[in-house]
Amino acid sequence: MKSLINWIGLLHLCASGYGQSSQTPAYQNPVLIDTHYHNHVLTEFFNEENIDIYTGGFIRSTTDIFRVNIGNPQKFYLPFYLLVGTTAQLERQSSFYEKLAFELINTNGGLLNFGFAKSNNIYKKKDQVIIDLYYQMGVKSIVGLNSESLKHENFMSKILSSGIIMSTKAWSPLEESSEGQLWIKVFSSCSHTSEEKLKNYFEKNPPNLLFAGNIEMGIFIKKGLNVTGGFYKFLNHQKISALEKSIFKVASNIKF
């Protein structure tokens, strides 16, 4: 609980330093950074699903269960979220460790993923180029394969991420009035997990703090195209085979 309070305090400092977010049209808000963070809607349920294909050929589905804003909509508030995810069954044992690596590095990873995520506008030029500061604090429930017992085990991991998102307008050539956006997100992430847990899943003992550099980009056309891609890399992988590989992702996003 003390750790959770410290994380929330850090989030509050970030929000105070960059001001409150402004309400903008839908196309101006990065898809994976969620338009909900700029709006003052109180609660939304089952509004989005992501289907991701990762390096190694495994497929992951993530469902946005609900989001709720807590606080003063005109001043400071925290957007709380809950995600549920599942990954297609894999046959090769080595793939389970690769999947676990991505679950640790992925801000949307985990069987359950809950916490706070927010973006604040820091630059805007005539609705053509928009730059936002993004930050997230979350807790994930992850399933790993014990390398000795070969049994699946559940453990908790925390993640903190922060970065910059730049977006510009996009639209369908068949309908110029259609709303959409092209965006790119460059961010770093830090995953914290108990060393006692991690040493059961890899051939070497990884550090309990894993740092990563990540790039995501995508294009979104309302009632049309919605695809994203990503590149993820652990920075302190300790030459552990499942962690030192670069991870790529291609995803489609479904709005309900």
Domain span at 225: 2-255
Query: pLDDT band at residue 253, thresholds of 50, 70 and 90?
Result: low
Assign 3-state DSSP to the chain and report helix, strand, coil percentages, each to 5.
20, 50, 30
Q: How many domains does the chain have?
A: 1
Highest mean pLDDT among 28-32, 200-204, 248-252: 248-252
Whether 177 contacts 136, CB under 8 Å: no
CATH number assigned to the domain comprising residue 135: 2.40.160
HSE toward the beta carbon, residue 256, CA cutoff 13 A: 11
| Burial letters 4-37, b for 16+ CB under 10 A, else e | eeebeeebeebbeebeebeebeebbbbbbbbbbb
Pairwise CA distance, residues 129 & 125, whole Å: 5
* Average pLDDT for 125-131: 84
- According to the model, what pLDDT value does residue 1 have? 44
Dump pLDDT digits (tens) for 167-224.
998 877 777 666 788 999 999 999 999 888 888 888 788 889 999 999 999 998 776 6
What average pLDDT does the chain have? Answer: 77
pTM beyond 0.95: no
